[in-house]
Amino acid sequence: MGFSQDGVDFAASDGAREQVDFLIIGAGIAGLRAAIQLAEAGTVLVITKEELAESNTAYAQGGIAVAMGGDEDVALHLEDTVAAGDGLVNREAAAVLVEQGPKRVQELLTWGTDFDREHGELMLTREAAHSRNRILHAQGDATGREIALSLLRHVRQIPAIRIMEWTTGIDLLTEGGRIVGATLLDGEGGLLTVYADAVLIASGGAGQVYSDTTNPAVTTGDGIAMAYRAGAAVSDMEFYQFHPTAFSAPGAPRFLLSEALRGEGAYLVNAAGERFMHRYHPLLELAPRDVVARAITHEGMDGPVYLDMRHVQKDLRQRFPGISSFLAQHHLDLNRDLIPVRPAAHYLMGGIRTDVHGRTSLPGLYAAGEAACTGVHGANRLASNSLLEGLVFGAAAADAMIADHTVPVPHKVQLTSVPSPNGSTHDASIERWIQELRDVMWKYAGLLRDAAGLEAAERAIAALGATMPRGLSRRAIEAHNLHTIASTIVASAIGRRESRGAHFRNDFPRKDAEARHSILQNGTLSFTQ
C-alpha cells in the first residue's frame, strides 16, 4: 500500500482522495455544533467511528449547566466553575463558557430540544458544587441523547454537511508545519485521504485507557493521539476525573449513576450503613467529584459503598427512567434498594492545548469539547459543564476556522505516525494487549498515585510499546492511540509533584502554592501559568 512508520508521499498512495473545506473528526455535541456554523462558509465532512448516536454526548445523563437567570446567575456560575477547578481554571475560558452558555442553549430550544419542564417552565436542578439550581435535563436522565438528536435533526437539513459513519481517523497530514487533512479508514477497511483547509478534532475523551470507565467503547482518545503525534501540544493530561458513582457489581458494566441522584437527595453509606461524607467535606454528598471519589475509595477498603435513596419520597422510576431500567436488569430499584457504587474514569480535563477560540499550536488544526484543553475545567470539572463546553467551544472553534479560511492547495504531505500495515495481529491478541494496558493504567495511574506506581506504569507502557499491535484494522489503530494517551497521562502525572483536583499523589499530598498547567509536546514536559 505504500505506507511506512516513518511517513509517506500521498501522491503515490493507494486509496481514494478528496478535498473539503472543513473536516471534523467526531460527531458529538462539539463536532455537530461546529458543523452547523461551518456550513455557512464551505463544505463540511464530519466523520464518526460508529453510528451517529454512539458518543459521550449521547451517554451524558446528568444534564447541562447553564445560567439562565441573568447576570447574577452568570457570575455565580463562573465562581462555581473556578472553585471546582481547584486553582487551575483559565478564568478567561470559564467566562466565555458561562457568558455564551445561555445563548447556545437558547439555540437548542429554537432547534426543538425538549428539556424537562415543570408547570410550563424549564425545570432546574442542582448537582455537586453548584451554588444554585441551574441544571437542565431531558427525559430525566437522557439529556445528552436529546441534545444529540436535536443537533442531528438540524444538521441533516443542511446540504453542505456530509457525515461518514463507521470511519476511523488514522493520522493527520502535515505540509510545511500546517495540518492539511487526515487519512481515514472506512467501515469496509478502505483508505481515504481527505485534504481540508482546516481540521477540527472533536472526538471526545479517552476513558477506555482505564479498565473501569463510564465511557462507551469508542472513547479511545483517537483525536488527541493524532494531534500529539502530529506535533501539537497537549495540556493537563494528568487530570482525569473519576466519577464517584459508577455501578459496582461483578461482571456488570461500570454504568454511570448520575450526579443528579445525589442532587435529588441520595446518601452515600458504607458497609455498616453509615453516612460518611461529613468526615470529608462540609458539602457532604454534593462535594466536588474528586473529593467524593476519594472518600468512596477510602470507605470501600472496609467493604461495599452504596447509594441510598430509600428515604426520597418521589417516584424515582419516573424521574430517572434510564437508570431505573438498567438497575431493573440487576433486580434493583432506587426506591427500594441500596445501590453498590465505586469510582470509574469519566472525563479528561486535559487534552489538545487550545486558546478560547479552539486554535491549537499547529496552524490548520483546531479542537473543541473533551478532546481540547482550554483550561476551562482546571483540575476538576464542575458537574454538567461538559455539554455546555461542547456547545460553546464548538461554535467558537467554527468561528475561528472561518476567520482563518485560506483554502491552501496541498502538495507533498506526510503521515505522522501510522501503524505499519505490514502484518496483522489477530483480534484476540489485540484485545489482550489493550486489556493489559488498561489494567496497568487503573492500577498505577488511577485515582491514587505515587512515584513508584507511576514509574512502574511508565516501564510497563514502554514494554507494551515494543509489542504494539500492527496492521490498519480499527482495533489496531485504537491500540496505537490508547498507548499514546497512556504515555502522555503518565508522563504528565510523574511531572506534577503535588496533589490538586483529580490528580492525587500519596507521596505529595499537598498542593503547590503556584498553580501551573502542564504542557507536553514532542516528548518534552513543561509547566506554565
pLDDT at 60: 54
Enzyme catalytic residues: 289
pLDDT above 90: residue 350: yes
pLDDT at 56: 52
Q: What is the mean pLDDT of residues 498-510?
A: 96
163: CB partners within 8 A, 6+ apart: 27, 45, 46, 47, 48, 52, 155
pLDDT at 55: 55
Of the CATH numbers 3.40.640.10, 1.10.1200.10, 3.90.700.10, 3.40.50.2300, which one belongs to the domain with range 244-343?
3.90.700.10
CB atoms under 10 Å from CB of 352, counted, come to 30
Q: What are phi and psi of 442, to 5 degrees?
A: -65, -40
Return the closest-CA partner of residue 500 out of 383, 378, 372.
378
Q: Which DSSP category does 404 fall into?
A: T
Distance CA(529)–CA(88), nearest Å, equals: 8
Each residue of 27-58: pLDDT tens digit? Answer: 999 999 999 999 999 999 999 998 876 555 55
3-state secondary structure of 316: helix
CB atoms under 10 Å from CB of 122, counted, come to 14
Distance CA(500)–CA(85), nearest Å, equals: 9
Q: What is the mean pLDDT of residues 346-371?
A: 98
Distance CA(180)–CA(527), nearest Å, equals: 29
In which band, very low, low, confident or very high, does the pLDDT at 492 lie, cut at 50, 70 and 90? very high
CB 297 within 8 A of CB 446: no
What cell numbers appear for 261 in the block?
441522584
The alpha-helical segments, DSSP class H, found in 266-314 are 289-299
CB 160 within 8 A of CB 39: yes
The alpha-helical segments, DSSP class H, found in 385-506 are 386-403, 427-444, 451-465, 474-495
pLDDT above 50: residue 300: yes
Longest dimension (CA), the chain: 68
Does an H or E element contain 222, and which? helix 222-229
Q: Looking at the domain that runs over 10-239+349-403, which CATH code has it been given?
A: 3.50.50.60
In which band, very low, low, confident or very high, does the pLDDT at 12 lie, cut at 50, 70 and 90? very low
Strands 517-521 and 178-185: unpaired
In which band, very low, low, confident or very high, does the pLDDT at 125 lie, cut at 50, 70 and 90? confident
CB 358 within 8 A of CB 376: no
Boundaries of every domain in the chain:
10-239+349-403, 244-343, 420-514
Can you say whether the dihedral through the CA atoms of 419, 420, 424, 429 is positive or negative?
A: negative
CB 391 within 8 A of CB 98: no
Each residue of 420-443: pLDDT tens digit? Answer: 444 445 588 999 999 999 999 999
State the amino acid at position 132 in one-letter form.
R
282: CB partners within 8 A, 6+ apart: none
CB atoms under 10 Å from CB of 134, counted, come to 25
pLDDT at 227: 98
Q: What is the pTM of this model?
A: 0.91
Percent of the chain exceeding pLDDT 70 equals 91
Distance CA(239)–CA(91), nearest Å, equals: 18
Q: Residue 329 burial by CB count (10 A; 0-12/13-18/19+): exposed, middle or buried? A: exposed
CA 343-348-354 angle, to 5 degrees, is 165
Partners of 352 in beta bridges: 234, 372
- Find where cell 516528548 sits: 523
Instruction: Give the distance, in angstroms, between the CA of residue 401 and the centroid of all CA atoms in the same chain.
Output: 22
Return the closest-CA partner of residue 360 out of 350, 347, 373, 377.
373
Of the CATH numbers 3.60.150.10, 1.20.58.100, 3.30.70.270, 3.40.50.1100, which one belongs to the domain with range 420-514?
1.20.58.100
Partners of 31 in beta bridges: none
